Amino acid sequence: MVIFMMRKLKVGIVGAGNIATNAHLPAYAELTDIVEVVAIADIVLEYAKDAAEKFSIPHYYASVEELLAGEPDIDYIDICTWTAAHAPVAIAAAKAGKNILCEKPLAASLEQGLAIEAAVKEAGVQFMLAVVTRYGAEQQKFIEMRDAGRFGDIYYAKCSYVRRRGTPGGWFTDKAYAGGGAVLDIGVHAIDRTWYLMGRPTPVSVSAETSYRIGNYQTKGVDRWQPIGGPTGVFNTEDSASIFFRFEDGKSMTAEIAWAINGCESATTTLYGSKAGCTFEPLTVYGENEDGYLSDEVPEIEHSNFFTEEIRHFVDCLNNGRTPISPIDDAVTIQRMLDAIYVSAQRHEEIKL
Ligand SMILES: NC(=O)c1ccc[n+]([C@@H]2O[C@H](COP(=O)([O-])OP(=O)(O)OC[C@H]3O[C@@H](n4cnc5c(N)ncnc54)[C@H](O)[C@@H]3O)[C@@H](O)[C@H]2O)c1
């Protein structure tokens, strides 16, 4: 029997913007017994310095290269840059032999995603995509029930991430920095989580349309996610998409994604199995009870912070030599599915995968 030691790990964060300072660093502050943030880097040194001061991080740098040179003992790099920088930063980290936690989406293009995969596999380092909605307590409870056979064969799913007016500002609408619009930014959450919960069926084809019809709205009284870095004023991405995926064995999934649309807001995953189905928030199971009547069951679940659970999981995987639940292979499959959405929408036809 192999017994692994729990060691306190050292992490260097790259990208000191919104997600780093509002989500990852507060999560690390709850995990000081298992992981220590030893450095942070940003191409705008001032952002790295501000974050270092605010979160008592000992060192700050102006690039991933400087960080890797200055901190040879770190266990992993946590990538919180804008999307187009994920690939160069991940490749530099892999070449230095460092494990990688990377914010969603994997990359700005399939080509960049494949380059990350090649670098990670060549270096033999661990990689985990930070697709945070896989890490909620409800998702974990669902998986427990699914693996015990409660749902039977899950053959169809529906998901949505629809905002009425919720387009982020700054670089998010600029293809050169983001790679795409609502699909890559929030579609990835809904599609990744739902595909994962279905049991990762092999994708066969994608049919989709994307739209840019509301664009740079001037609606008053609505909130927007404002990134810290990058340019503003360019909007050359889609603002919504409707998607149909076919999987092996006749399984399928629909997805509705919007940063801005004239309809009702929703962020849902619905799964349909041969024995039972379910919705989330709260996890509600639609099946039949022992007496043969229809039943709606809401299991009791203890909730926790998704970001904290996500980082705790990665640290645990590194310490115990386990593969994360969102590994590079899943990240590449999802990136292929997202890429095919754009190709399908451009050609107005179904794309085989
Ligand atoms: N999980 C979630 O729910 C969630 C939410 C928002 C954003 N994100 C993801 O987090 C990432 C960052 O988004 P954000 O909102 O924090 O953006 P942001 O602009 O606020 O922060 C990005 C930071 O990265 C820095 N940067 C860019 N290239 C760099 C490089 N090569 N080296 C070092 N620093 C670099 C920028 O200067 C900027 O400060 C994106 O990939 C985004 O998709 C995830």
The CATH number covering residue 183 comes to 3.30.360.10
Q: Is the CB of 65 under 6 A from ligand 1?
A: no
Q: Give the orientation angle of helix 188-198 with respect to helix 328-347, to 10 degrees.
A: 120
Q: What pLDDT does residue 246 have? A: 98
- Spatial distance between the Cα atoms of 80 and 315, rounded to a whole number of angstroms: 17
Q: Are residues 106 and 194 in the same domain?
A: no
Q: Are residues 342 and 221 in the same domain?
A: yes
Residue 311 predicted with pLDDT over 60: yes
Evaluate whether residue 76 is within a structural domain.
yes
Q: Is the CB of 85 under 6 A from ligand 1?
A: yes
Q: Are residues 222 and 343 in the same domain?
A: yes
Residue-number span of the structural domain to which 29 is assigned? 9-133+311-328
Q: Are residues 49 and 191 in the same domain?
A: no
Which two structure tokens, joined as six digits, stand for 176? 């050169």
Whole-number Cα distances in Å, 100 to 94, 116, 173, 232 = 7, 10, 26, 29
Evaluate whether residue 227 is within a structural domain.
yes
Q: Are residues 285 and 315 in the same domain?
A: no
Q: Are residues 127 and 204 in the same domain?
A: no
Look at the chain and report how many structural domains it folds into: 2
Beta-strand pair 99-103/76-79: parallel
Q: What is the pLDDT of residues 268-300, one digit of tens each?
A: 999 999 999 999 999 999 999 999 999 999 999
- Whole-number Å distance, alpha carbon 349 to ligand 1 midpoint, is 33
- Whole-number Å distance, alpha carbon 104 to ligand 1 midpoint, is 10
Evaluate whether residue 70 is within a structural domain.
yes
Evaluate whether residue 4 is within a structural domain.
no
- Whole-number Å distance, alpha carbon 125 to ligand 1 midpoint, is 22
Whole-number Cα distances in Å, 231 to 78, 172, 175, 240, 324 = 23, 9, 11, 22, 34
Evaluate whether residue 2 is within a structural domain.
no
Q: Are residues 40 and 117 in the same domain?
A: yes
Q: Is the CB of 41 under 6 A from ligand 1?
A: yes
Q: Is the CB of 103 under 6 A from ligand 1?
A: yes
Q: Are residues 170 and 290 in the same domain?
A: yes
Q: Are residues 70 and 121 in the same domain?
A: yes
Q: Is the CB of 17 under 6 A from ligand 1?
A: yes
Please report, for the domain that includes residue 48, its CATH number: 3.40.50.720
Q: What pLDDT does residue 224 have? A: 84
Residue 337 predicted with pLDDT over 70: yes
Q: What pLDDT does residue 5 have? A: 61
Q: Are residues 30 and 157 in the same domain?
A: no
DSSP H helices, 124-187, are 137-147, 175-178, 182
Q: Are residues 339 and 280 in the same domain?
A: yes
- Spatial distance between the Cα atoms of 112 and 162, rounded to a whole number of angstroms: 27
Mean pLDDT, range 34-44, rounded to an integer: 98
H or E stretch covering 80:
none
Nearest CA to ligand 1 atom 1: 132
Evaluate whether residue 186 is within a structural domain.
yes
Q: Is the CB of 89 under 6 A from ligand 1?
A: yes
Q: How confident is the model at residue 2 (pLDDT cuts 50, 70, 90)?
A: very low
Q: Are residues 241 and 270 in the same domain?
A: yes
Evaluate whether residue 283 is within a structural domain.
yes
